Copies of this chain bind each other. A is one copy, B any other.
């Protein structure tokens, strides 16, 4: 694990995205109309994803435990794709990229798990960091 004892706490932000690709238009319609038997897909998966963000350092050996000071998960349907956007902010000595990506991954897996009785061909089509602020490039002194 990297030694961060000498680093300065700054505001760090990361945004990650995961895409869940459905295979059937009927699945998309069921999501849109709130007719998925396992429940309200986006709201249920959002709860799971928020918990997962906070467990990142419990699962990834070299991740530092850090104070997650803001997290938001948004899901939207575009055709046969569910696009998950996860934002995580902290004021700490290291970034929150892996936290955002782990949150996106667990949100996607929860949606996969809720929809697989309806659609056998769902895939998680990429998890990637789409934005990152703070750290070396974006200094801001710790005010807290």
A binding-site residues for B, Cβ under 8 Å: 1-5, 7-9, 11, 38-40, 43-48, 50-52, 54-55, 57-72, 89-93, 97-98, 101-102, 105-106, 108-110, 112-114, 116, 123-129, 142-144
Main secondary structure of the interface of A (DSSP, over half): mixed
Interface pair A93/B69, CB less than 8 Å apart: yes
Question: What are 17 residue pairs bridging A and B, where the CB atoms are less than 8 Å apart in the complex?
Answer: A1-B72, A5-B69, A5-B70, A5-B89, A38-B62, A47-B61, A47-B110, A48-B59, A48-B61, A54-B57, A54-B65, A59-B106, A60-B110, A63-B113, A98-B113, A105-B106, A124-B128
A67 CB contacts on chain B under 8 angstroms: 64-66, 92
Copies in the complex: 6
A144 CB contacts on chain B under 8 angstroms: 7-9, 93, 142
Rounded to whole Å, the gap between the CB of A44 and the closest CB of chain B is 5
How many angstroms between the C-alpha atoms of A142 and B67 in the bound complex? 16
Rounded to whole Å, the gap between the CB of A123 and the closest CB of chain B is 4
